[in-house]
Amino acid sequence: MMEDRLQVGVISSTHGIRGEVKVFPTTDNPERFRELKHVILDTGKEQRPLTISGVKFFKQFVILKFKGIDHINDIEKYKGRPLYVTREDAVELEEDEYFIADLIDCEVLTDEGEILGTLKDVMETGANDVYVVETPDQKEILLPAIRECILDVDPEAGRITVHLMKGLLS
């Protein structure tokens, strides 16, 4: 099942007293916050839509100001809470790019039709992502997300087809 919301960050702390927050971005491109107008704050009880009125960057953080939140007391209680965007507000994907949220729990099959397991995580290593597959007997297989190995990704069907290169399962 594809998520209709995608996490873009987590509020890590307040910033100053005027209601700004420091957000740890969970998107691979924090610059996209410049384009973003709306986020959804998951307060734990409700989904609260917020309008972004200011964006600054500080070290690895994004500093956001929300419309109508003008004091530290209005936002302090949301430390540690995630921020989401709707799929419509999500960044446009290139061909062969996917949202990690859509890949988690996909069934992973070999090109010979054998069930390898379930995708549990995607590690971002710099060179290429690494897919973490959990086998039916709870072992972990790490697959490099490269064309020679990942043949087909179909999040709609919940299926990823891979080619096991020599040495991957040794």
In this structure, what CATH number is given to the domain that contains residue 33? 2.40.30.60
- Choose among 114, 166, 121: nearest CA to 140: 121
**Residue 115 and residue 68 in one domain:** no
Burial class of 127 by CB neighbour count within 10 A (0 to 12, 13 to 18, 19+):
exposed
What was the pLDDT predicted at 11? Answer: 95
**Residue 109 and residue 36 in one domain:** no
What was the pLDDT predicted at 99? Answer: 77
**Residue 28 and residue 76 in one domain:** yes
CB 7 within 8 Å of CB 23? no
CB 100 within 8 Å of CB 57? no
For the domain that residue 142 is a member of, what is the CATH number?
2.30.30.240
CB 18 within 8 Å of CB 73? no
Given pLDDT bands bounded at 50, 70 and 90, which one contains residue 1? very low
CA–CA separation, 24 vs 21, rounded Å?
10
What was the pLDDT predicted at 123? Answer: 86
Q: CA torsion, points 44, 49, 51, 57, in degrees to nearest 10?
A: 30
Q: Is the pLDDT of residue 38 over 70?
A: yes
pTM over 0.75: no
Burial class of 124 by CB neighbour count within 10 A (0 to 12, 13 to 18, 19+):
exposed
Residue 95 lies inside a defined structural domain of this protein: no
pLDDT digits (tens, 9 = 90+) for 53-108: 999 999 889 999 999 999 999 999 999 999 999 877 777 777 777 778 888 899 99
Residue 94 lies inside a defined structural domain of this protein: no
Domain boundary among 89, 115, 147: 89
Residue 79 lies inside a defined structural domain of this protein: yes
CB 78 within 8 Å of CB 11? yes
Domain boundary among 64, 89, 114: 89
Q: Is the pLDDT of residue 3 over 70?
A: no
Q: Is the pLDDT of residue 170 over 80?
A: no
What was the pLDDT predicted at 19? Answer: 94
Which phi and psi angles does 166 have, rounded to 5°? Answer: -55, 135
Segments forming the whole domain that contains residue 65: 5-89
Domain boundary among 65, 89, 113: 89
Question: How many domains are contained in the chain?
Answer: 2
What was the pLDDT predicted at 39? Answer: 93
**Residue 13 and residue 56 in one domain:** yes
pLDDT digits (tens, 9 = 90+) for 107-148: 999 999 999 999 998 887 777 888 999 999 999 999 988 888
Residue 167 lies inside a defined structural domain of this protein: no
**Residue 74 and residue 109 in one domain:** no
